[in-house]
Amino acid sequence: MTLNQHTLRKSRTFAGKGLHTGTYSKMTVSPAPAGHGIVFRRTDLGEDALIPALAEYVSSTARSTTLSKGEASVATVEHILSALTGMGVDNALIEIDNIEVPILDGSARYYVEAFAADGLEDQGVSRVMLTLPEAVEIKDAATGSWIKIEPAETPSCQITADFNSRVLGVQTASWTPETDYAREIGVCRTFVFFHEIEFLFKNGLIRGGDVDNAIVIVEHPVTEEQIAELSGLINKPALSVTDGGYLNNLELHFPNECGRHKLLDLLGDLRLSGGYLNAHVTAFKPGHTLNTNAAKAVRALLKQK
């Protein structure tokens, strides 16, 4: 069955601070015509500050994916791209008035809830599926990570997340067209290890991070003083560690929520291939650098056709 292209029925606006920069931004996601694809516009930089959501515009993958074209950049694009992909949106204009997409609760939940409530508009034009002439495989010898994208009649994606963590263990997650993205993937939040937080703060990252938008994994023993220091950094009182090895700021949606979030990120990053992949994707220890390199490889291969 041939699917048609879809866009949003109406515009939706989201606002909040960015995870890494801590800057406040307002972002409006609007309908766009058939064939438009997904494009960002930095409204604070003018009407022409447009950045297509394509892999050749990736400028950074330091803990998130940043796109840049000319003087315009937009950081942490993976969650909104994942939401649009998972909900079946082909065309959208994303207007934002600052450098980083709002982190909200650390997942794609608020996007998918809004898009589901409004419904989508069938644009009456066939969706162009990206069909590869051969498999693409990207490896990182240093980490042992890899992604393989193989031509397939039915799209699917399966990931294995392994952080060598006693708390997380090895987690798997998968997606097919039958998966309820909104309920099973879109609600899964980003995560961070407790021992990484100080380093990230000192290196100018997660300035907008707090326990309202991230799962915090406590891999190693910590003192009450360390927890108190973190509470001060993020202005949250009375944190503690659960028996399962997480901060008690939230309850997990799924035992493998962190693995599912890695799948959420992968679906968003792979959207930078330029559309929907007619492929089976298998990934081991995926991350933004590996994901976006895979999207670049897909685009390079398709240009050779």
Active site residues: 288
Query: Which residues face 139 on adjacent strands?
Result: 146
Instruction: Answer whether 97's CB lies under 8 Å from 89's CB.
Output: no
Query: Which residues face 17 on adjacent strands?
Result: 24
d(CA 183, CA 113): 10
- Taking the mean position of all CA atoms in its chain, how far away is CA 114? 17
Tell me the angle at which helices 288-304 and 257-270 cross, rounded to the nearest 10 degrees. Answer: 30
Q: Tell me the DSSP string of 190-232.
A: PEEEHHHHHHHHHTT--TT--TTS-EEE--S---HHHHHHHHH
d(CA 197, CA 209): 9
Instruction: Answer whether 68's CB lies under 8 Å from 99's CB.
Output: no
């050779």: which residue's tokens?
304
Burial class from Cβ neighbours inside 10 Å (0-12, 13-18, 19+) for residue 231 reads middle
Instruction: Answer whether 285's CB lies under 8 Å from 144's CB.
Output: yes
Distances in whole angstroms, Cα of residue 3 to Cα of each of 90, 102, 123, 124, 133: 11, 31, 10, 9, 21
Instruction: Answer whether 209's CB lies under 8 Å from 216's CB.
Output: no
Q: Tokens standing for 197?
A: 């937080």
